[in-house]
Amino acid sequence: MKKEMKSIGILCVMMIVCAAVSLAAISSSVDIDVSLINQNPDPAEPGKYVEVKWKVENAGSSNTENVIFEVLPKFPFSLDPGESATQKIGSIWGRQIGDNGVIVTYRFKVDENAVEGQNEIEIRYSLDNGVSWQKPGKFYINIRTHDAILNIKKVSYSPDPMPPGKKAILSIELENMADSLLKDIKISLNLITVLQTATSITYNELSFSTFGTTNQQVIKNIGAGKTKTVEFTLIPDPDAASDVYKIPITIEYSDELGTNYSKSEVISVIVGDEPILEPLIASTNIYKKGQVGEIDISFVNKGTTDVKLLDVELKESDYVKVISSANVYLGNIDSDDYEIAEFKVYVNDLDDSRVPLIINYNYLDPNNNRYEEQETLYIDVYSNKEAKKYGLDG
């Protein structure tokens, strides 16, 4: 029994030695080299597919059979259900290199939460039909979002609208919609545009000037999913017309891989001021109670902005009855100008010596903001004796 056990032990040792000698013989005559030759697209994009190709070459002098290639996918890479991680290559001849190398192709799904940059993917191969495995080294797949998007999330300014000739703060909130850091961010207001032809260069200046800073602001970086705000102090030209103005913006930035981006956007701001429209009694020929006469009401535009579509109504009351039309349309009034609304009224014979005139009026500013206002103006009336005394009874 002891002799049999001894014989079995010797046989096992001999088998192990033979296998080692055989593997050494294969290793000495077979020289497998695996290289990643292509990824498509490059870079790959989170949430999409990437096709990866490896080349398997045998730089040794001997053939090798039963070659198996296997990928070991891990986050952020995965194979579709049903797709095998192993591919049987079979035989590779000695000196099968270069254009004669074996191409192995896999199609991976890239996870939506993949991090930008170089992401490792592991492979291994077997020369003995899967009994033993070897890893040739590390391989990396380049991942980057399709666009490192830096979005203008919000534009605001104060005061709103911007008054001509006065300072206003323009705030631009930027949002990093990429999944990695964006850096060296430059935001420029293009307040001067250049039109170049074959024969001339024309400079077009917008009706704004920066105050306290230049037309460019710089942000060092914005983290993934984060926001930051830059501010510019602007002064619209004193003679800038009330209107909506478009301001071109250029944004330049880089991602963590050193790729540079540049995008052009347009923001809009409203220039204008609150209208100052003042109604006044321009003239009247009514001086006594119980009298019919005319009243001219002047609407003076004392503001820097024009008004338009002015409509005026004189309300009847216990004091006056409107003989003419109670509504008068005056239309547009330029800045520092006036229009007159004419009314014919009867003044009732009441005890008061001051007659109130209730006026409703509405209009639009140049940016079509609607205003509705009411004012009460007064005319003085006299008794017959007082009118004669003041020479108003003629």
- pLDDT digit string, tens, across residues 285-298: 988 888 899 999 99
| pLDDT of residue 18 exceeding 70 | no
Verify that 97 and 160 share a domain, yes or no.
Answer: no
Give domain status of residue 191, yes or no: yes
C-alpha triplet 159, 215, 180: angle, nearest 5°: 95
Is pTM beyond 0.85? Reply is no
Q: What is the CATH number of the domain that holds 338?
A: 2.60.40.10
- Using 50, 70 and 90 to split pLDDT, how confident is the model at 24? very low
Same domain, residue pair 156 and 267: yes
Same domain, 124 and 193: no
Look at residue 112 and tell me whether its pLDDT is greater than 80.
Answer: yes
**Residue 131 falls inside a structural domain:** yes
Residue 229 domain-assigned? yes
Contacts of 282 (CB under 8 A, 6+ apart): 296, 297, 298, 340
Percent of the chain with pLDDT over 90: 67
Residue 9 pLDDT > 70, yes or no? no
Q: Point out the domain boundary residue: 240, 256, 271.
A: 271
Q: Give the whole-number percent of the chain exceeding pLDDT 70.
A: 92
Are residue 266 and residue 282 in the same domain, yes or no? Answer: no
The per-residue pLDDT for range 213-258, each reduced to its tens digit, is: 899 999 999 998 899 999 999 999 998 988 899 999 999 999 887 8
Closest to 249 measured CA to CA, from 149, 176, 169, 155:
155
Whole-number Å distance between alpha carbons of 368 and 383: 47
* 22: in domain: no
Task: Answer yes or no: do 44 and 139 share one domain.
Answer: yes
Please check whether residue 185 lies inside any domain of the structure: yes
Domain count across the chain: 3
Residues 259 and 229 in one domain: yes
Q: Would you say residue 70 lies in a domain?
A: yes
In this prediction, residue 1 has a pLDDT band, given cuts at 50, 70 and 90, of: very low
Give a yes or no: residue 24 inside a domain.
no
Kindly state whether residues 266 and 287 are assigned to the same domain: no
Going by pLDDT thresholds of 50, 70 and 90, the confidence category of residue 13 is very low
Distance CA 190, CA 36 (A): 46
| End residue of a domain, out of 110, 143, 176 | 143
At 386 the pLDDT is: 79
Question: What is the mean pLDDT of the segment spanning 161-177?
Answer: 94
Residue 26: is its pLDDT beyond 70?
A: no
Q: In the structure encoding, which two tokens stand for residue 327, read together? A: 């509504």
In this structure, are 160 and 264 located in the same domain?
yes
Model confidence band, residue 147 (pLDDT cutoffs 50, 70, 90): low
2 located within any domain: no
In this predicted model, what pLDDT tens digit does every residue of 64-93 receive, in sequence order?
Answer: 999 999 999 999 999 999 999 999 999 999
My answer on whether 136 and 111 are in the same domain is yes
**Are both 322 and 266 inside the same structural domain?**
no
Instruction: Tell me, yes or no, whether 352 and 373 share the same domain.
Output: yes
Average pLDDT on 152-162 reads: 94
Query: Is pLDDT larger for residue 112 or for residue 279?
Result: 279
Q: How sure is the predictor about 55, in pLDDT bands with cuts at 50, 70 and 90? A: very high
Structural domain that includes position 236: 150-271
Q: What are 272-328's pLDDT values in tens digits?
A: 888 999 999 999 998 888 889 999 999 999 988 899 999 999 999 999 999 999 999
* pLDDT classification of 394: cutoffs 50, 70, 90: low
Q: Is 254 found in the same domain as 179?
A: yes
Residue 7: pLDDT over 60: no
pLDDT value, residue 145: 74
Q: What span, in angstroms and rounded, lies between the C-alpha atoms of 177 and 149?
A: 5
pLDDT of 123: 96
- What is the per-residue pLDDT for 221? 95
Residue after which a domain boundary falls, among 226, 244, 271? 271
